[in-house]
Amino acid sequence: MLSCKNLIALVIASVVYFHSPAQEIREYMDLQVHPTMHVPYSFFKKGMTWFDEADAPNLKHKHFLKNICYANYFNHNKGLRIMVVGVLTRENMWSRKKARRILVKQLNYYDEFVKNNADNFAIAKTPQEVRDLVHKTDKTIIVFSIEGGRNLVDSQEDANFWAEKGVSFITLVHLVDSRYGASAIRPGLGTTMLNTKGALRREKKRRLTEKGKQAIQWLANAGVMTDLTHMSDLTRKDALAFMEEKGIPPLVTHDMFKPIQNHPRGVEEEDVIKIYRNKGLMSLPLSGESLMAFKPSEKYKAKIDSLTRYCNGSIDSYIFSYLALKEFIENNLAAISGNNNIMLKDLDEKELVDISIGFQSDFNGWVNHHRPRYGKDGCYELVPGMSYEDIEVQGMAHPGLMDSHWKLMAKEGVDIEPVKRASEKFLQMWQQFLDRRGTFN
């Protein structure tokens, strides 16, 4: 039987163990999903509802405008332990009060869902809460974010309001130009028609505004990160320069790598270096359709052409972009670290966290996902008797296939440790913002 002295020591040790920020995690963390898209856009079915397992919905990888965010797919999902849910408003929402009300309604929706499903899901509003839930439970963990800052951050009080709600980051610019800066206009009519005002402006004038700089600083001083995703090239460059000046680590949750996706959503190589040099994190979209090459550089076009197996728009597009970004970061450690003699093999596990690469699925967003490699919608015929991962024959039809996605990459020898480390990197960044509240001057 334990003595009183030993019992006290055990309790103290347990508290230290469960609440030590040094207790690092390595989990699959999706940096933005949208299960409450039905709130701003009523034509979506409600997300985070349960279906009868005996009557599962018939979903395909082409699910644009269709709900795929069923609770069944997130429950104990080995390929998606932590999900950052992005609440958002409609792009034409001009009313400040209505925009805030719609976002709070979505946050409350998650609160109610977790209240009714507390055995399997939990909300974390701080990095330490995430760590505690990872180490003490097997629950799927929900973290809050906002995609699109229009009319949301016009004062320090506004930024503090979202911080108090537990919001980890705000994607400041979304699909249209705003008072903060310009939005990236992708090739095709979609974003051009949505953002007509931006499309008609001269590109050199589409930059981060003074109000945008204020918003980034207000958010940082509240403990909230700014996501630079969706910014136009010059707006992103201005934001990176401003954040470097103020010592604010940059976050990019779902933009692409410009040498492969050569359009305004692609991040230039020099800007990738700036993101990591300033202790930030870059994350790629998960969708194979989104990551298809677009006017790639000669170097990467030649690499794609040389591949003996490459199914465009499938998981292959994700793997190719991921490996290209990973190789670029690892080959530029000297520029990132400022140490000309540094090599990847010199970095220990804690130092490797700083060169993590995240992922963002955008489930229930405006995108389709991986097409299959094999079968009717794939590039190749199914071979009788051959064993396939589900992701190869179904594509990314729904979030429940995330585990198959990572399993296939591991089977094919792809190093996915940078993806798993990204959860730790994200928490370290978020904690840094919280620790430095009010000091970003």
Distance, in Å, from the CA atom of 339 to the CA atom of 327, rounded to the nearest integer, reads 18
Domain holding 133, by residue range, is 23-435
pLDDT value at 384 more than 60: yes
Does residue 18 fall inside a structural domain?
no
Does residue 5 fall inside a structural domain?
no
pLDDT value at 234 more than 60: yes
Is the torsion defined by CA of 128, 69, 314, 302 positive or negative?
negative
pLDDT at 22: 52
Does residue 8 fall inside a structural domain?
no
Spatial contact of 44 and 363, defined as CB atoms under 8 Å apart: no
Which has the closest alpha carbon to 166: 135, 122, 134? 122
Does residue 386 fall inside a structural domain?
yes
Please give the mean pLDDT across all residues of the chain.
93
pLDDT at 94: 82
DSSP element (H, E) containing 190:
helix 189-194
- pLDDT-derived band at 196, boundaries 50, 70, 90: confident
Does residue 239 fall inside a structural domain?
yes
Distance, in Å, from the CA atom of 438 to the CA atom of 303, rounded to the nearest integer, reads 47
β-bridge mates for residue 83, sequence order = 30, 142
How many CB atoms lie under 10 A from the CB of residue 284? Answer: 27
Does residue 129 fall inside a structural domain?
yes
Spatial contact of 206 and 198, defined as CB atoms under 8 Å apart: yes
pLDDT value at 152 more than 50: yes
pLDDT at 92: 81
Spatial contact of 57 and 70, defined as CB atoms under 8 Å apart: yes
In the predicted model, what is the mean pLDDT of residues 59-85?
Answer: 97
Instruction: Please tell me the total count of domains within the chain.
Output: 1
In the chain, how many H helices and how many E strands?
A: 17, 11
pLDDT at 58: 95
pLDDT (tens digit, 9 = 90+) per residue, 25-37? 999 999 999 999 9
pLDDT value at 9 more than 80: no
In the predicted model, what is the mean pLDDT of residues 17-21?
Answer: 43
- pLDDT-derived band at 16, boundaries 50, 70, 90: very low
Please write down the long-range contacts of 401-410, taking CB distance under 8 Å and 24 or more positions apart.
401/79, 402/28, 402/30, 402/77, 402/78, 402/79, 402/80, 402/361, 403/77, 403/78, 403/79, 403/80, 404/79, 405/79, 405/286, 405/315, 405/370, 406/28, 406/79, 407/79, 408/315, 409/315, 409/319
Residue with tokens 């976002």: 103
In the predicted model, what is the mean pLDDT of residues 39-47?
Answer: 95
Q: How far is CA 140 from CA 3, 144, 399, in A?
A: 37, 13, 13
CATH of the domain at 343: 3.20.20.140
In the predicted model, what is the mean pLDDT of residues 286-296?
Answer: 98
Question: What is residue 144's three-state secondary structure?
Answer: strand
- pLDDT-derived band at 11, boundaries 50, 70, 90: very low
pLDDT value at 6 more than 60: no
pLDDT at 162: 98
In the predicted model, what is the mean pLDDT of residues 420-425?
Answer: 98
pLDDT value at 288 more than 90: yes
Distance, in Å, from the CA atom of 89 to the CA atom of 228, rounded to the nearest integer, reads 18
Which has the closest alpha carbon to 426: 277, 251, 287? 251
Does residue 12 fall inside a structural domain?
no
Does residue 335 fall inside a structural domain?
yes
For 122, counting Cβ atoms within 10 Å of its Cβ (0-12 exposed, 13-18 middle, 19+ buried), the class is middle
pLDDT value at 1 more than 80: no
Amino acid in the structure at residue 307:
L
pLDDT value at 195 more than 50: yes
Terminal alpha carbon distance of the chain? 56
Q: What one-character DSSP code corresponds to residue 374?
A: B
